[in-house]
Amino acid sequence: MSAPRTARERVRDEVTKEILAVARAHLARDGAAALSLRSIARDLQMAPSALYRYFDGRDALLSALILEAYGSLAEEAARASGLAYREAGNDLARWLAVPRAVRAWAVARPHEWGLIFGSPVPGYRAPEETVVPYARLAAALLRPVVEAQERGHLAVEVTADGTGAALDGALAPIRQALLPDSATSTVQRAVHAWATLIGVISLEVFGHWRDTVLDPELVFDATMRDSALLVGLAL
Amino acid sequence: MSAPRTARERVRDEVTKEILAVARAHLARDGAAALSLRSIARDLQMAPSALYRYFDGRDALLSALILEAYGSLAEEAARASGLAYREAGNDLARWLAVPRAVRAWAVARPHEWGLIFGSPVPGYRAPEETVVPYARLAAALLRPVVEAQERGHLAVEVTADGTGAALDGALAPIRQALLPDSATSTVQRAVHAWATLIGVISLEVFGHWRDTVLDPELVFDATMRDSALLVGLAL
DNA sequence: TGTACATCAGTGAACGCGCGTTCACTGATGTAC
DNA sequence: TGTACATCAGTGAACGCGCGTTCACTGATGTAC
């Protein structure tokens, strides 16, 4: 499929990339709600109607951007995870690697973070294909838990209360996809850590730390350290 | 200021309330970005220009709605907290009361939750007066921590690492406003619990639990139980 | 109690705006023979 | 290698839309004397 591409095909790919680049820049500046085909066309010095050769309309373009954002975030998390495992380091360092990378990504792209974890754009449904990068991101985060468990280094909370079975059922899809051999409490605390990660980043990125948390990075690290303990990683 | 109100004043108050009620309904249905003076006026069978007698324009109306949302959420949290302290119950029950109330509020009003904790509306700055209800909400959440500490029932993590002083500085405004007599680690973990609460609710409300967390309420409770432990409440 | 004037809620027409999308077209690129 | 035709990127005009906001106005309510 690769070699004998015609000039037309090559130009088409290039223009597609240019459109996406401009759209991404607009998104970063003004947010999803303000994304406009006409203003993108203006920046590209094209007629607005020309964009319809490349995307089916505004919603299709937005979908492409959302998918790009998911992919970029998942890629960044996977990259950070790979790096942490190639370097020397203990469980804590490995656990912190992905959260730090995710935070850095989000701080650099607040609107794209909002596109993924903020209020859904009203009247618009996110494409199904986001499931794959979403799972990749979660897997990168939880890899230290999985590996610590395989080595028998994971502290597991023994929960004896009655909610065990119901909780297990409520978390079945997550266990199956990410933590097949873990105790219910481990799965539950993985979800807890996930919620904490998203929460602490969203609060920072959406401006809620203003005048209250003066050093977001420091507090972020302390929070994710707690999470390491919570999910059972030995420090 | 109360007694001798003219008919005009009474009608003005009523119409103001009607406008806010319709605007709130539109907000709940379509979200903040779609809020339109013209459509509100249509519902009220008024000319669009008539709304300018009551609000300075679209942004002023949106500000009023945001303030209302903050107030309503803080009120609900304070109510739940008061109730929990009037009833018999242990520290855990009291700790869970406010988070559960906040979650219930958010699930019932996803768009209003998004207005407070979702992506900021682009090009729009939230009014300063949100600081007060925001603090009320945080105080209601943390009241069990404050009271347990006063009774000497709070478990305090002794952190000996070097980041103590810096962390203390980073959290100074929060200590001052909410936890004046607490250890740094307690303040930090209060922030952790806050981030977790916002994260776990946002993930549910913004649709990220779909097909992964099958019983959000159960998982929410388990998460906030963990948080109780984390902030040092004895169970 | 009655009158003259001031206040103010609400009307309806108009403004200019930017938007997404459609459509008939031109002209360049690619393909089949 | 050359010709006839098909494909397709991009143009430019036009559509209808709903929006926020302004403005001169009408008529009812409130106030001062």
Say which of B172, B197, B221 has its CB closest to residue A214: B172
The tokens for B229 are 């432990």
Count interface pairs A-B at CB distance under 8 A: 164
The reply to whether A58 has its C-beta less than 7 Å from any atom of strand C is yes
Q: Is the pLDDT assigned to residue A122 strictly greater than 80?
A: no
Q: Is the pLDDT assigned to residue A190 strictly greater than 90?
A: yes
* pLDDT confidence tier of residue B161, bands split at 50, 70 and 90: low
Phi-psi region of B123 (alpha: psi -120 to 50; beta: other; left: phi over 0): left
Residue A13 (CA) to nucleotide D1 (C1'), in angstroms, measures: 31
The reply to whether A12 has its C-beta less than 7 Å from any atom of strand D is yes
Within 8 A of A196 by CB-CB distance, chain B residues are 192, 195-196, 199
Q: Tell me the mean pLDDT in the region A171-188.
A: 96
* pLDDT confidence tier of residue A221, bands split at 50, 70 and 90: very high
d(CA B21, CA A164): 43
Q: Give the DSSP H/E element, type plus range, for residue A37.
A: helix A37-44
**Chain C nucleotides covered by protein, CB below 7 Å:** 8-14, 18-24, 29-31
The tokens for B59 are 């942004």
The tokens for A159 are 């929960």
| Nearest residue to A196 via CA among B151, B19, A204 | A204
Encoded amino acid at A144, one letter: P
**What is the least distance, in Å, from the CA of A109 to any CA of chain B?**
12
Look at B167 and A34 and tell me if their CB atoms are within 8 Å. Answer: no
What residues have CB less than 8 Å from B183, skipping those under 6 apart?
A: B156, B157
Instruction: State pLDDT tens for residues B39-95.
Output: 999 999 999 999 999 999 999 999 999 999 999 999 999 999 999 999 989 999 999
Q: Give the CB-side neighbour count of residue B43, counting CA atoms within 13 A.
A: 15
* pLDDT confidence tier of residue B3, bands split at 50, 70 and 90: very low
The tokens for B3 are 């007694």
Q: Are B233 and B144 in contact (CB under 8 A)?
A: yes
Nearest-10 crossing angle of helices B184-205, B91-108 = 40
Q: Which residue matches tokens 């890629």?
A: A75
| Nearest residue to A71 via CA among A109, A16, A35, A37 | A109
* pLDDT confidence tier of residue B1, bands split at 50, 70 and 90: very low
Say which of B118, B213, B230 has its CB closest to residue A118: B118
Determine the protein residue whose CA lies at the shortest distance from the C1' of C18: A38
Q: Is the pLDDT assigned to residue A162 strictly greater than 60?
A: no
Say which of A34, A122, A170 has its CB closest to residue B213: A170
d(CA B185, CA B190): 8
Instruction: State pLDDT tens for residues A55-104.
Output: 999 999 999 999 999 999 999 999 999 999 999 889 999 999 999 999 99
* pLDDT confidence tier of residue A161, bands split at 50, 70 and 90: low
Q: Give the CB-side neighbour count of residue B101, counting CA atoms within 13 A.
A: 23
- Distance, CA of A182 to chain centre: 23
* pLDDT confidence tier of residue B116, bands split at 50, 70 and 90: very high
Coil/strand/helix, residue A26: helix
The reply to whether A130 has its C-beta less than 7 Å from any atom of strand C is no
**What is the least distance, in Å, from the CA of B42 to any CA of chain A?**
21
Does A197 touch chain B if contact means CB atoms closer than 8 Å?
yes
Q: What is the pTM of this model?
A: 0.95
d(CA A49, CA A30): 22
Does A30 touch chain B if contact means CB atoms closer than 8 Å?
yes
Question: In chain A, whose CA is at the least distance from the CA of B163?
Answer: A218
pLDDT at position B164? 84
Percent of chain A with pLDDT over 70: 96
State the average pLDDT for chain B.
93
Q: Tell me the mean pLDDT in the region A135-158.
A: 93
pLDDT at position B158? 66
Instruction: State pLDDT tens for residues B24-40.
Output: 999 999 999 999 999 99
The reply to whether A6 has its C-beta less than 7 Å from any atom of strand C is yes
d(CA A207, CA B121): 12
Q: Which residue has the higher pLDDT, A8 or A52?
A: A52
Does B135 touch chain A if contact means CB atoms closer than 8 Å?
no
Q: Which of B212, B223, B224 to mutate to test the interface with A (most CBs of A within 10 A)?
A: B212
The reply to whether A54 has its C-beta less than 7 Å from any atom of strand D is yes
Instruction: State pLDDT tens for residues B168-194.
Output: 999 999 999 999 999 999 999 999 999
